[in-house]
Structure 1
């Protein structure tokens, strides 16, 4: 069967996260510069290989001071570790439109396995004839497993930042043209 390549349409995709702040609310953020590549046999996403790369210096929480802090050695160390990478190791179909995606996440030079929940929102043709597929991806990681340990103790005895980081992403993939031998 022919392999089909799908690439993310970054203008219609988001790579987001949220973390507990002061134990009472969440701060959300995203990476603005990222790419997802999916190779699948035909249109069968249950057997796909997935690779995501994101530029760590593209982190945005809509607060310049906080973003600068996230880029330094307290958090991402972007000068030393400029990219985040996820490479799939397996996919399990849970229902017609849901999957469990397993893979290795490399962040700050540390690679650890993660598991993500994927909802396939459908496939359609756009007005220009391109085939597109939409996905909603969620998951959770513990930031200390990647050496991200910065925190502050509050006067009330709590901590400023939660350990758990929730991943929440919307992906729109575009099927790439297949070169036909002459």
Structure 2
């Protein structure tokens, strides 16, 4: 996956994802993953300091056309007009608005998610765990959205009613 990072706050430590990072989604039906997908191109900005959460900021821009699916037979449907409509909407964007501490190394990252031109508030349950030298962090985040909130439809009806979004990887000091 290709990640890039942009620094905004000069005084705030900025991090970038290591090359083994993952941003994607999966859909479960009856506790079985029926589809998993991962974005191969993600631009990210992570300005994070656990002691200054009000100034911390997390954002991701996923390039829709870079989506790799676990089931290639669904590729055209998922990128087509009913689900992501890649012809009209090239990016999915998440911008944090607040980071709340919930426990040691555990945060609720509140923000706005934009899919198909529709922006809705979401909360990512997030773990940001420092390594021994504090220059690296393990980063895991997930949330669930309702696809109808983003005008995403499927020929399979309720198959895509709930979509689980995940971010997983290692952050390194930029």
Provide the TM-score with structure 2 as the length reference.
0.83
Write the mapping of 1:47-66 to structure 2, written as runs, cut at 5 A: 47=54, 48-66=56-74
Q: Which has the higher contact order (CA 8 A, sep 6+)?
A: 1
- Give the paired residue count: 163
In the other structure, the counterpart of 1:117 is 125
Selected match of 1:149 from 129, 153, 165 = 153
Q: Which has more radius of gyration?
A: 1
5+ long unaligned stretches in structure 1: 154-158, 177-182
5+ long unaligned stretches in structure 2: 1-9
In the other structure, the counterpart of 1:107 is 115
Paired residue secondary structure (1:151): coil
Q: Tell me whether 63-72 or 75-84 shows the greater mean CA deviation.
A: 63-72
RMSD between aligned residues: 2.2
Q: Would the aligned equivalents of 2:96 and 2:109 in 1 still touch at CA under 8 Å?
A: yes
* Residues 118-155 of structure 1 deviation map (CA, whole Å, 9 limit, x = unaligned): 01232355xxxx922111111110011000022336xx
In the other structure, the counterpart of 2:104 is 96
Q: Tell me, yes or no, if structure 1 residue 131 matches structure 2 residue 135.
A: yes
Q: Would the aligned equivalents of 2:153 and 2:160 in 1 still touch at CA under 8 Å?
A: no
**Cα offset, 1:2, TM superposition:** 2.0
2-structure distance, mates of 1:134, 1:69: 34
**Cα offset, 1:12, TM superposition:** 1.6
Write the mapping of 1:30-41 to structure 2, written as runs, cut at 5 A: 30-41=38-49
In the other structure, the counterpart of 1:67 is 75
Provide the TM-score with structure 1 as the length reference.
0.80
